[in-house]
Structure 1
Amino acid sequence: MSWGKTVNQSFKTACAAAAIAFGFAGTATAQDADFAGDRVELIIPFGEGGGTDTWGRFWAPYFSVFLPGNPTVVVKNIPGGGSTSGANQFEARAKPDGLTAIGTSGSTQFPYLLRDKRVQYEMRDWRVVLASPTGGVVYVNSDLGLKSAADMKALETVKLRYGSQGATSLDLVPLLAFELLGLDVDAVFGMKGRGAGRLAFERGEVNIDYQTSSAFINNVTPLVDIGSAVPLFSWGAIDDDGNIVRDPSFPDLPSFPEAYEMMKGEKPSGPAWDAYKAFFIAGFPAQKMVFLPKDTPEEIVQAYREAAQAATEDESFLADRQATLGEYKQIVGEPAERIFRTAVNVPEEAREWVQKWLTDKYSVQF
């Protein structure tokens, strides 16, 4: 079996294995957890204004409402290192008392998966509360003259600039996509988050960008409305068979495989495509997650999971989620555990291919 097929198979079968390997006792309750009068910090390891920050600030008040005792829940931004700085701090300092949680992104998972030397955290030990699937949209400056993805072949002769958090961050997905499309993209590294990349786009310092769904809906749609940005394609979403299909939040935009076929005249295939798909699955279907530290007592974990579940059934949540979360079902509890385990078990062949490509392309050392 090729490891490209393994990517699909892992998505469909790892959940069943995880349910056995990481099963739940099913007897813990949240009755003993009480956060009355407490202040809970939700660490967001990015600067303000990006997709993860937007997502975290959406969730924080719902945890305040639905956690026992109604604690004050505040977002604490700790940017740096493509999110590794905040994740390292969480690993080192967070106590298992429920008063510190972290909201991560694929940019937190990818350095971990790629064994980035900056990583000092062990994600597999953390207790997952919820997973928020998301997508993303690639867009360009309207000055390039494109109107839609149908015009993408014009980019073959254009020098593009992209503001990136780092090659081993979630930006690995767009960088691999640009490579597959054969685009000449100069990646400008050092952005503190996707919000910083968007601001660089608005200042005219870069001419191609992508934002996760929440940030695109809230911050880029106005640029599209005034004619300064042109959306080209979304990354897409995963169906039950592990295939990439159109993103339900952006049904009028082609998915990346469709955009590739529009530009290249054939469906994507080969080792680069298989590697791209593996890391797309790791980075987007479970792209943003809330974790508690290892050794957090089960009653506290259950209190958080019950709070998240209650939030997803709340009328105000259902009314407001479209603008921030898009058309994605929030995944809570044991299903979140299963999808998390799938996300952190990228096929070894895909990992090795990406590591070699990153070393050859961007001189990243592992």
Structure 2
Amino acid sequence: MTQLSFTRRVVVGIVAAAAMAAPAAAEVDFSGKTIEWVIPFSETGGSAKWANFFAPLLSEELPGNPTVVVKFMPGAGSTKGANWFQQQQHKDGTLLFGSSGSTQFPYLLGDPRVRYEYGDWIPVMATGTGGVAYLNAEDGAKFDGSANGLKDTDFIFGSQGATGLDLVPLLAWQMLGMNVEPVFGIKGRGDGRLMFERGEATIDYQTSSGYLGGSADLVAAGSAVPMMSWGALDDNGVIVRDPTFPDMPSFKEVCEATEGCETSGVAWDAWKAFFISGYPSQKIAFLPQGTPQDVVDTYVAAFEAVRSRPDFAELSANEVGKYPMFVGAGAANATKEATTVSPEAREQVVSWLKDAYGVSLE
């Protein structure tokens, strides 16, 4: 699908939602109903924490205060759940799906497992996130703000797969000249953290919600040492420190301090393109294709009410980090950003996947 046709299909799906017509929204009533929010990962990762954070807030704002239950459908790097959602035709608003970078990247890369089309889905809410890489205590003692002292160490990393969100850290570590051996096949980032806790992995990363909800405790206990965040984008599109972790260097800073790592050129441009696709618009809530407009309007209004709560900024900062939340038309724009990369960036990453891991997507 071309970028233009994608944009047209998304706009058609959300333009009325942006207006948030009150009369239509008022007619929808979820009293006595249960809404299933399907997450295509295990219950231990950042997407689980994200959905579990928003679910009770959404329940409070939807008319009739339905029960919002988060369900998990892990498998095939999240493409199993996304392929299932593509086939759903729910029209009563009782099904919601949560996409993440690990769902978006296979779509961008042309992964043969993908049988879903983002242009068919209706985005109602999106949030950004960040990510933090950390080391075990022994190797963390060698870290001085650069990776120079880590290049002779062999690391083990529990990975969901090289074509998902894990490609951001895997490519970053390679650019730093580090020897990181991924063990593919875990079902969620929380499982990677468990491998790290058991000593089966010696390096790990988590998205912000997963880090705040679990890995920060490892740091406090002295069994993990933060290495870097991936950073965040400022208003000019420049990578700066993540506002949730302002005392932690960004990958850009660590790269600049490391011999042989460049923050310009083809590799950097490719890494930055997928970082932008995978993090500033990282987690998105969708209704299935064919959902009636009054139901879409109701969800947009409910998520807008969540965002407008006076205590929302504090609640979200503690649970999922300090990142923007988009609803309605803003969520559609975020979806476009998350599912668009240049042909040059895609070609560079596809070539790297084949050379580094023998993954062929052609």
Instruction: Tell me which interval the TM-score lies in, with the shorter structure as reference length.
Output: over 0.9
Q: Distance in 2 between matches of 1:171 and 1:209?
A: 10
**Kept in 2: contact 1:200–1:206 (CA 8 A):** yes
2:199 to 190, 194, 204: 204
Match of 1:11 in 2: none
Whether 2:11 is the aligned partner of 1:22: answer yes
Q: Distance in 2 between matches of 1:226 and 1:118?
A: 40
Match of 2:317 in 1: 322
Instruction: Mark the CA change 1:91 to 1:251 in structure 2 (over 3 Å): closer, same or farther.
Output: same
1:334 to 299, 315, 329: 329
Q: Distance in 1 between matches of 2:165 and 2:142?
A: 27
Instruction: Mark the CA change 1:43 to 1:20 in structure 2 (over 3 Å): closer, same or farther.
Output: closer
**Kept in 2: contact 1:91–1:120 (CA 8 A):** yes
**Kept in 1: contact 2:140–2:224 (CA 8 A):** no
Alpha-carbon distance, 1:108 to partner: 0.6
Match of 2:93 in 1: 98
Whether 2:341 is the aligned partner of 1:349: answer no
Instruction: Mark the CA change 1:217 to 1:148 in structure 2 (over 3 Å): closer, same or farther.
Output: farther
Q: Structure 2: which 5+ residue stretches go unaligned?
A: none
**Equivalence map 1:1-366=2 (5 Å):** 22=11, 24-25=15-16, 26=19, 28=21, 29-146=24-141, 148-150=143-145, 152-264=147-259, 267-366=262-361
**Kept in 2: contact 1:164–1:197 (CA 8 A):** yes
Q: Distance in 2 between matches of 1:157 and 1:204?
A: 19
**Kept in 1: contact 2:10–2:332 (CA 8 A):** no
What is the TM-score when the length of structure 1 is the normalising length?
Answer: 0.91
Q: Distance in 1 between matches of 2:9 and 2:95?
A: 28
Instruction: Mark the CA change 1:264 to 1:102 in structure 2 (over 3 Å): closer, same or farther.
Output: same
Match of 1:10 in 2: none
SS at match of 1:30: helix
Q: CA RMSD in A?
A: 2.0
- Bigger Cα displacement from structure 2, 126-135 vs 295-304: 295-304
SS at match of 1:93: coil
What is the TM-score when the length of structure 2 is the normalising length?
Answer: 0.92
SS at match of 1:131: strand
Alpha-carbon distance, 1:349 to partner: 1.2
Alpha-carbon distance, 1:158 to partner: 0.3
Q: Distance in 1 between matches of 2:103 and 2:243?
A: 25
- Bigger Cα displacement from structure 2, 198-207 vs 344-353: 344-353
- Bigger Cα displacement from structure 2, 152-161 vs 90-99: 90-99
Instruction: Mark the CA change 1:356 to 1:265 in structure 2 (over 3 Å): closer, same or farther.
Output: closer
- Bigger Cα displacement from structure 2, 234-243 vs 200-209: 234-243
Q: List per-residue Cα deviations over 1:138-179 (Å, max 9, x = no partner).
A: 000012252655253111100011110001111011111111
SS at match of 1:206: coil
Q: Distance in 1 between matches of 2:324 and 2:78?
A: 25
Q: Distance in 1 between matches of 2:166 and 2:42?
A: 16
Q: Distance in 2 between matches of 1:273 and 1:81?
A: 28
Q: Distance in 1 between matches of 2:145 and 2:314?
A: 34
- Bigger Cα displacement from structure 2, 355-364 vs 18-27: 18-27
SS at match of 2:151: helix
Match of 1:8 in 2: none
The amino acid of 1:263's aligned partner reads: T
Instruction: Mark the CA change 1:246 to 1:319 in structure 2 (over 3 Å): closer, same or farther.
Output: closer
Question: 4+ residue stretches of structure 1 with deviation over 4 A?
Answer: 17-21
Q: Distance in 1 between matches of 2:67 and 2:101?
A: 27
Instruction: Mark the CA change 1:149 to 1:62 in structure 2 (over 3 Å): closer, same or farther.
Output: farther
**Kept in 2: contact 1:107–1:171 (CA 8 A):** yes
Match of 1:4 in 2: none
**Kept in 2: contact 1:218–1:323 (CA 8 A):** no
Alpha-carbon distance, 1:353 to partner: 1.4
